[in-house]
Amino acid sequence: MPSKIETINPYNGNRIKNYQEFTKSKLEACLELSENTFETWKQTDIKERTTLLKTLSKNLLKNKQKFAELMTEEMGKPISQSLAEIEKCSFLVDFYAKNADDFLADELIETDAEESFISFDPLGCILGIMPWNYPFWQVLRFAIPTVTAGNTILLKHASNVTGCALAIQEIFEESGFPKGCFQTLIADHEQIDQLIADSRIKAISLTGSEKAGRHIAETAGKHLKKTVLELGGNNACIVLADADLDAHLDTMVHARMQNTGQSCIAAKRFIVVEDIYGEFLEKFKAKVKKLNIGDPADKNTELSVLAREDLAKTLKKQVDTSIGQGAKVITGNKTDKAYFEPTILTNVKPGMPVFDEETFGPVAAIIKVKTKEDAYKMASHSKFGLGTMVFTQNIEDARKQIIEIADGAFFINELVKSDPRLPFGGTKASGFGRELSKEGIHEFVNRKTVFINL
Tell me if residue 290 falls in helix, strand or coil: coil
pLDDT digits (tens, 9 = 90+) for 57-88: 999 999 999 999 999 999 999 999 999 999 99
* pLDDT value for 101: 99
Q: Is the dihedral of CA 20, 25, 28, 30 positive or negative?
A: negative
pLDDT at 1 over 70: no
73 part of the active site: no
| Mean pLDDT of the region 41-58 | 99
pLDDT digits (tens, 9 = 90+) for 177-199: 999 999 999 999 999 999 999 99
pLDDT digits (tens, 9 = 90+) for 417-442: 999 999 999 999 999 999 999 999 99
pLDDT digits (tens, 9 = 90+) for 365-382: 999 999 999 999 999 999
Can you say how many angstroms the Cα of residue 285 is from the centroid of all Cα atoms in its chain? 27
* pLDDT value for 77: 99
Separation CA 57–CA 175 (nearest Å): 9
Tell me if residue 432 falls in helix, strand or coil: strand
Catalytic residue among 230, 357, 358, 443: 230
Enumerate residues 6+ apart whose C-beta is below 8 A from 108.
115, 116, 117
Angle, helices 64-75 vs 162-174, to 10°: value is 160
| Mean pLDDT of the region 327-351 | 99
For the chain, the distance separating the N- and C-terminal CA atoms, rounded to the nearest angstrom, is: 61
> In which band, very low, low, confident or very high, does the pLDDT at 300 lie, cut at 50, 70 and 90?
very high
Model's pTM, two decimal places? 0.98
* pLDDT value for 110: 98
Enumerate residues 6+ apart whose C-beta is below 8 A from 341.
331, 332, 333, 334, 335, 362
> In which band, very low, low, confident or very high, does the pLDDT at 2 lie, cut at 50, 70 and 90?
confident
Exposure on the CB side of residue 381, measured as CA atoms within 13 A:
18
| Mean pLDDT of the region 381-399 | 99
Separation CA 75–CA 245 (nearest Å): 32
> In which band, very low, low, confident or very high, does the pLDDT at 109 lie, cut at 50, 70 and 90?
very high
pLDDT at 362 over 70: yes
- Domains in the chain with CATH codes: 4-231+428-452 (3.40.605.10), 236-412 (3.40.309.10)
